[in-house]
Chains A and B, each alone.
Chain A
Amino acid sequence: MAKKPIEIDCEEVWRQISNYVDDEVDPELRAIMASHFKDCAHCSAILDGTRNVVQLVGDGKAFDIPASASEKFYNKLNDHLATRQPKKR
């Protein structure tokens, strides 16, 4: 007789979904979740969306800083060094 697959409820899947995306669940739980995703359209949609969020926010283009801003990052250091220069000589 075929062994009945171990089931997992949707709420437990949501609790682990982020760890699943990061490959931070043990192989046994991973297999149980993978089988759940095949049968559950809701959880599968949440998995796809979560993966997509990780991809989009992780893409360098989403949170770049304008070049004009990065020049200003050194203003205080520039001022500090400018006041030190004469003493150095």
Chain B
Amino acid sequence: MATARLQSESEAGLLARVRGGEHDAFYELVRPYERGIYLAALSIVNNDADAEEVVQESILKAFKAIGSFRAEAKFSTWMIQITMNEARMKLRKDRRHLYESLDQPKKGEDDGDYVPRDFADWREIPCEALENARLREGLKRGVASLSAKYRQVLILRDIEHLNIAETAKLIGISQSAVKTRLLRARLMMRDALAPGFDGAWKKGR
């Protein structure tokens, strides 16, 4: 709590400086959220090059619109909202929605019950195993392979650690839809990673 208050106090100071014409303060304001806004972009466009372009555009837009930012909002959430809007616009512009709609599941997926494919009792993968590039790649591939609707929820909730209400608002869906999509996303991730859970991640560092 104290940290959050300190952060928002320092943010308020930075905001005042930006509004007073100190452009450098805007860089300081955005820097702590670079990863968050990048992942928010990636959750929609699903490739690194497009996500990078979306972030560039979003940072510029946020700078131009800083006068409309209201102090009662969280700066991080405001930035993520701008980024997600920008990413959706990019998809529409690129007509990628013809190939993958943000709301339509891929073939073979629907909103019915998801039955896990693998019931094996795997050993837990310790977080230290993330030093293993193959595991990191496996996680990234797993996330990228999810349909957009599941990928977005997983990234906002489990990677960015936003709460259910924030996630629902950013995507524009109900909180119960967030929970349903998150369930499926996690179970699909579990199945996607299962082949490596038998110890294979520890090999071939």
A74 touching B56 by the CB < 8 A rule?
yes
What are the interface flags for B133-161 relative to A under an 8 Å C-beta threshold, 1 for contact and 0 otherwise? 00110011001000000000010001101
Q: Determine whether the beta carbon of B190 is less than 8 Å from that of A46.
A: yes
Instruction: Give the residue name and chain of the A residue nearest to B24 (CB).
Output: A81
Q: Does B110 interact with chain A (Cβ within 8 Å)?
A: no
Enumerate chain A interface residues (CB-CB to B < 8 A): 11, 14-15, 17-19, 21, 24, 41-42, 44-46, 48-50, 52-65, 69-70, 72-77, 80-81
> Separation in Å of the B122 CB from the closest CB of chain A?
6
Please, how many angstroms separate the alpha-carbon atoms of A53 and B118 in the complex? 14
Question: For residue B140, which residues in chain A have a CB less than 8 angstroms away from its CB?
Answer: 62-63
Tell me whether A54 and B158 are in contact in the complex, defined as CB-CB below 8 angstroms, given that A49-B190, A63-B140, A80-B60 are known contacts: yes
Is A62 in contact with B139, judged by CB distance below 8 angstroms?
A: yes
**Which residues of B sit under 8 angstroms from A15, Cβ to Cβ?**
113, 183
- Say what secondary structure dominates the interface of chain A: helix
Q: Using Cβ atoms and an 8 Å threshold, which residues of chain B touch A19? A: 179, 183
Could you count the A-B residue pairs with CB atoms below 8 Å apart for me: how many are there?
Answer: 126
B186 interface residue, CB < 8 Å from A?
A: yes
Query: Considering the chains assembled together, what is the distance between the CA atoms of A49 and B183 in angstroms?
Result: 12
Contact of A64 among B35, B114, B135, B190 (CB under 8 A): B35
Tell me the bound Cα distance from A59 to B197 in angstroms.
17
Number of interface residues of B (CB under 8 A): 50
Determine if B82 is an interface residue (Cβ-Cβ < 8 Å): no
Cβ of B6 < 8 Å from any Cβ of A?
A: no
Indicate which residue in A18, A73, A75, A81 contacts B183 across the interface (CB closer than 8 Å): A18
Residues B39 and A63 in contact, CB atoms below 8 Å apart:
yes
What's the Cα separation between A31 and B94 when bound, in Å? 49
A58 and B159: CB pair below 8 A?
yes
- Per the bound structure, the CA–CA distance linking A59 and B27 in Å amounts to 25
Q: Given A49-B190, A49-B197, A64-B35, A14 and B116 touching (CB < 8 A)?
A: yes
Interchain CA distance A23-B115 in the complex, whole Å = 21
Residues of B within 8 A of A54 (CB): 158, 186
- Which one of B7-15, B67-75, B95-103, B124-132 is at the A interface? B124-132
- The answer to whether the Cβ of B170 comes within 8 Å of any Cβ in the partner chain is no
Known contacts A15-B183, A54-B158, A73 near B122 by CB under 8 Å: no
User: B115 to A14, Cβ gap below 8 A?
Assistant: yes
B residues in contact with A21, CB < 8 Å: 186
Given known contacts A44-B121, A57-B139, is B59 in contact with A17 (CB within 8 Å)?
A: no
Least Cβ–Cβ distance between A21 and chain B, in angstroms? 8
